[in-house]
Structure 1
């Protein structure tokens, strides 16, 4: 837990858990954060991100993609702003529906490209980033240092970004 009620889940993969735990605790202490249970602040979800190309029938293809995903147990979706002729759409689902959702949205004629499919930690309540510049910098340095560690796979936060 970092200052300002910023919860962190640090996913690691290591052959030496003692070394990784010690390093992580040292980094947290150095940046005024501490180890405490925060799993209750997150939900495990599935996320599928796909890309669709812009074109003449873009709106119809986007509607077909969203309908297909919702029928395959997607709970929510978010689309990015179009960039360089394509748009990415991310669908969120329960963990047990990830394979079904991935298969449905990657079927021929539904989307052009699967960008990613993974299990994520979704915050139940998001917190605003610190307004103080020094706190923002400290938090950014903390996240950077944690992510630089070779054993760290990913750092999840409950920040509203």
Structure 2
């Protein structure tokens, strides 16, 4: 998916820092607690919770942290969070979808709007950009799991709709409603995935030059630094050449 891999690489670089890792664990814990409150506290009986736990494990979140997040929901502790989606345009006309979990809608809206306005973007109304995306299930495996043929065969047998293989990873796409079933089947064939989540896949992508990419990534970083923001999706495409220049 355009934007996904590049953003994921940024997250990996940021995740190497203790502060960023702590913030990431906090966001993962919030999603686990919300998922457990919305359904059964047992991952085997609650598909959303299972996805949240799998993602936490993929980011090396300690088991004790995961269990504490589930226990919070079982004890009806912690704040009640609301799911909100924000949509807008970044520099270069890049469409962005921001998913958040918040206990204060006004605070989060102000922070997201400020991040957009300070980094060459404009926050739009609900539905202003999501019409250019598809809501799908995404399962990611590292390239080290095996070649494209091996993963393609396993994915098709599991009922996936599409697979995109690159140098670093295999992205497996499913219908949103099939994500849990496909992920469970793939786990038996390929082991635990690196990422399992609902995603926004763009229908068309925007190529970013160095200037646009630099400002765009600052916007994404600003959004990601907000505790309430869970995920940022975009229709941007940044070439390896441009990324190398930005990393220099």
Shorter-chain TM-score range: 0.7 to 0.9
Corresponding position: 1:68 with 2:68: no
> Unaligned regions of 5+ residues in structure 1, if any?
83-87
2:131 is aligned, of 33, 37, 40, to: 40
The residue correspondences of 1:1-161 to structure 2 (distance < 5 A) are 1-36=89-124, 37-51=128-142, 63-81=149-167, 88-107=169-188, 110-129=189-208, 131=209, 133=211, 135-161=212-238
| Residue-by-residue CA offset, 1:44-64 (whole Å, 9 max, x unaligned) | 11011235757xxx66xx645
> Unaligned regions of 5+ residues in structure 2, if any?
1-88, 239-248
TM-score, length basis structure 1: 0.80
Bigger strand share = 1
Pick closer, same or farther for the CA change 1:3–1:52 going to 2, 3 Å. closer
Bigger helix share = 2
Q: Which residue of 2 aligns with 1:85?
A: none
Pick closer, same or farther for the CA change 1:89–1:144 going to 2, 3 Å. same
**How many residue pairs align between the two structures?**
147
| Residue-by-residue CA offset, 1:18-55 (whole Å, 9 max, x unaligned) | 0100111122112231122111111111011235757x
TM-score, length basis structure 2: 0.54
Larger gyration radius, structure 1 or structure 2: 1
Q: Which has the higher contact order (CA 8 A, sep 6+)?
A: 1
Pick closer, same or farther for the CA change 1:140–1:49 going to 2, 3 Å. closer
| Structure 1 vs Structure 2 CA RMSD | 2.1
